Amino acid sequence: MVFPAKPGDAPALTAIARAAKRHWGYPAAWLAEWEPGLRVTPEFIAANETFAARPAGGEAEEILGWAALVVASDGAMWLEHLWVRPEAMGRGVGRVLFEHAATRARARGFARLHVESDPHAEPFYLRMGARRAGVVTAAVQGVPRHLPLLEHALGPLL
């Protein structure tokens, strides 16, 4: 169900990120401001571990959601993206992507997976076992937003 994303998947991944962000009812002006962060390029996919969830037994090219891991300049592992098509939300796609990300981060030797979360997504990450480690305040269109910083302990390799 989870496969490495290919650089050619960039338009589909971008469309999913945009649709997932719109799902939460944010104003159009906010979505426009966030557009650069929602745009995925082939170069991003090639440079970072990016993977897509496809339905079991479904069409090979249909992507239900995707995620990407990024190593920050300080050496920490971040779940930079995790997006699910709105019509696929609540069907376990996010869980599969998160578990895959955690497994991959652990296999790469990381003890923690960090997430800067949208406030709407925080309950999902808490259900996955992450804990709140802080908050980042970021303004959009002059309105302050408080983004949860989360950590997920990965545990030892088995």
CB atoms within 10 A of CB 15: 15
CB atoms within 10 A of CB 113: 25
With b for 16 or more beta-carbon neighbours within 10 A and e for fewer, the 115-131 pattern comes to: bebbeebbebbeebebe
pLDDT at 136: 95
**Residues paired with 150 in a beta bridge:** 115, 132
Residues of the chain with pLDDT under 50: none
**Residues paired with 144 in a beta bridge:** 139
Q: pTM for the full model?
A: 0.92
Spatial CB neighbours of 143, under 8 Å, sequence gap ≥ 6:
none
pLDDT tens for each residue of 87-120: 999 999 999 999 999 999 999 999 999 999 999 9
In CATH terms, the fold of domain 2-153 is Aminopeptidase (3.40.630)
User: Rounded CA gap, 74 and 56, in Å?
Assistant: 37
Spatial CB neighbours of 85, under 8 Å, sequence gap ≥ 6:
16, 19, 20, 63, 64, 65, 93
